[in-house]
Structures are given as C-alpha cells and as structure tokens.
Amino acid sequence: MAPHNELGKLGEEAVIRHLTESGYHILEHNWFYRKYEVDIIAENDEWIIFVEVKTRTSKQWGNPEESVSKNKINRIVEAAEFYLINNNISKSVRFDVAAVVIERCGIEIEYIDDAFLSPAK
C-alpha cells in the first residue's frame, strides 16, 4: 500500500474510534457509489452523517479540511442521496469533515459538524 494510503487509513481509523467513543454507530467505512467513495457513514439518534476524512502529517501546507473541494462535496452529496434512497433512510442528514494530523507526538483530530450543506440543484 502506498504511504499516502496508509496515512489515510490511519486517519480514518482514528476518526472511527473518535465517533464510536462519542456514541455514534458506524454504518459504513469506505463505501463506494460508482467511483465515488464516502469515507465513513455513521448515525446517532438524530442524524445520519456522511464524513469526509482528510489526513496529513503536518499543517505546513494548510489545514487538512481546506482540501475538501467543491467537486468533492458534490460527489459526496450525490453518493449520499443514492445511499439514503437505496436504504430507505428518512433521518436528517449531516455532512461532516474530520481533519486529522498525525505527527510523531500523536494524533490531532479536528472534527467539524455540519461542515457543508448539500448544494442546491
């Protein structure tokens, strides 16, 4: 596995632990719709949450969450719409971003609830 893929996997695993410890139930991890991937799909009593995880080894080139592009948002939303319809889910939906920095001194997670809204079509 390429080093950037290993880093991403470590970041996703850290976010899954964070969500589980916060009382979320993980429904899917690395779920694909067509060629689009949703890193984590989770739920709690109120929401179904689609989580984009961005992992870096430093903030030297900016915060990880800054790399979530408009194109990526559109792909996540399209995949989420399919997931909700295909699984007959009527819960409220939230799109979160988890910005993970893994350095020698440890792992830092900045978890952003409601990081973006579904764009109007």
For the segment 48-87, what is each residue's pLDDT rounded down to a tens digit?
999 999 988 887 777 778 778 899 999 999 999 999 999 9
Give the closest residue to 77 by CA, choosing from 12, 69, 46, 9: 69
**pLDDT per residue over 31-50, tens digit each?**
999 989 999 999 999 999 99
In a domain, 31, yes or no: yes
Quick one: pLDDT at residue 25?
98
3-state class (DSSP) for residue 67:
helix
Domain that holds residue 54: 3-116
Region 5-21 average pLDDT: 91
Question: Quick one: tokens of 46?
Answer: 């109120």
In a domain, 121, yes or no: no
In a domain, 39, yes or no: yes
In a domain, 55, yes or no: yes
- CATH number, domain at 16? 3.40.1350.10
Sign for the pseudo-dihedral over CA of 6, 27, 36, 57: negative
Quote the number of domains for the chain: 1
